[in-house]
């Protein structure tokens, strides 16, 4: 087991959303580290669950965080101005919900949390 406490975020690769999510998660849960599992627009892949290779890659990386780092919280994040998933906030909120439904089937002992990073780069729980 790794030293320190961890949570996990399935997040876009967009560099603008990394620090806001890290700051939010460390403050909200009082942990030392946030393991980032990144893809361009990951909620699109998870919500659609069509590209099995990408979905399985995300799942394996989240599993490493949960099992090896002891992460008990997994955030699934959408964000404004996403190049990899250029859809409106309402659609992203639906995608986050569908993504959480899928992730809950992975059998991990963790709480799931939906987040959205708005156009001011502020993190909102959804």
Question: What CATH code is carried by the domain that includes residue 48?
Answer: 3.40.1050.10
Domain count, the chain: 1
Residue linked to tokens 């399985």: 56
**Cα dist. 117→23, 30, 122 in Å?**
12, 20, 5
User: How far is 95 from 8, CA to CA, in rounded Å?
Assistant: 18
pLDDT tens string 60-117: 999 999 999 999 999 999 999 999 999 999 999 999 999 999 999 999 999 999 999 9
Can you give the pTM of this predicted structure? 0.95
* Residue 89 placed within a domain: yes
* Residue 67 placed within a domain: yes
Tokens of 75: 């955030």
* Residue 1 placed within a domain: no
Q: Which domain holds residue 113?
A: 6-125
């Amino acid at each position: 087991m790794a030293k320190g406490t961890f949570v996990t975020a399935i997040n876009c690769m967009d560099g603008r959303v990394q620090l806001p999510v890290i700051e939010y998660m460390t403050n909200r849960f009082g942990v030392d580290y946030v393991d980032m599992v990144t893809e361009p627009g990951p909620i699109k892949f998870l919500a659609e669950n069509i590209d099995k290779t990408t979905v399985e890659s995300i799942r394996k990386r989240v599993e490493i965080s949960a099992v090896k780092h002891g992460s008990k919280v997994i955030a699934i994040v959408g964000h404004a101005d996403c190049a990899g998933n250029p859809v409106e906030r309402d659609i992203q909120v639906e995608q986050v919900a569908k993504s959480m439904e899928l992730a809950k089937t992975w059998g991990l002992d963790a709480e799931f949390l939906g987040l959205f990073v708005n156009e001011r780069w502020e993190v909102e729980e959804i």
